[in-house]
Amino acid sequence: MKRDIFQAIADPARRAMILLIAGGTVTQHALAEHFDMSQQAVAKHIGVLIDSALVKKTRTGREVSYTLEMQKLDELEQWIATFRSIWASRFDQLGELLTELKQENP
């Protein structure tokens, strides 16, 4: 099931997990040590991160580790940056238009 990235980052524990994974804490066991919750609960949160494609799971022998999908986060940042630029451009034009209108109707 594909999940929403916002749903993934809505939970404070998951936000902390994203930071830990980004910081290099990559096994489930190592992650669980940072949280006052069961291994099962940690696994569930990681499941949400994986479903939202924010985190990728890799298995090496018996060891399961996690890495961050930076591309997914970048996409979001890029979209937001684009949106910001659109508003900056709009407001520049609106400012010019208002100056013109004020001159026409002093």
Partner 1 sequence: MNTINSFQFRTDKEKRMIYVEKHFDASGPLVWRTWTEPDLLDKWWAPKPWKARTREMKFEKNGFWHYAMVGPEGECHWAIFNYNSIEPERGFSGSSAFTDEQRSSTDGPVSFWSTVFDSSAGRTRVKIDIAFEELAALETMIGMGFREGFESGLQNLDMLLPGLS
Q: Which residues here bind partner 1, judged by CB under 8 A?
A: 4-7, 9-10, 75-76, 78-80, 82-98, 101-102, 105
| Token pair 């609960």 in the structure block, residue | 41
- DSSP for 77-88, please give it: HHHHHHHHHHHH
Could you tell me the smallest distance in angstroms from the CB atom of residue 54 to partner 1? 11
Could you tell me the smallest distance in angstroms from the CB atom of residue 83 to partner 1? 7
Nearer to partner 1, 4 or 63 (CB): 4
Nearer to partner 1, 32 or 45 (CB): 45
Q: How far is CA 102 from CA 82, 87, 96, in A?
A: 30, 22, 10
- Using alpha carbons, select from 60, 49, 40 the residue that is nearest to residue 17: 49
Nearer to partner 1, 4 or 33 (CB): 4
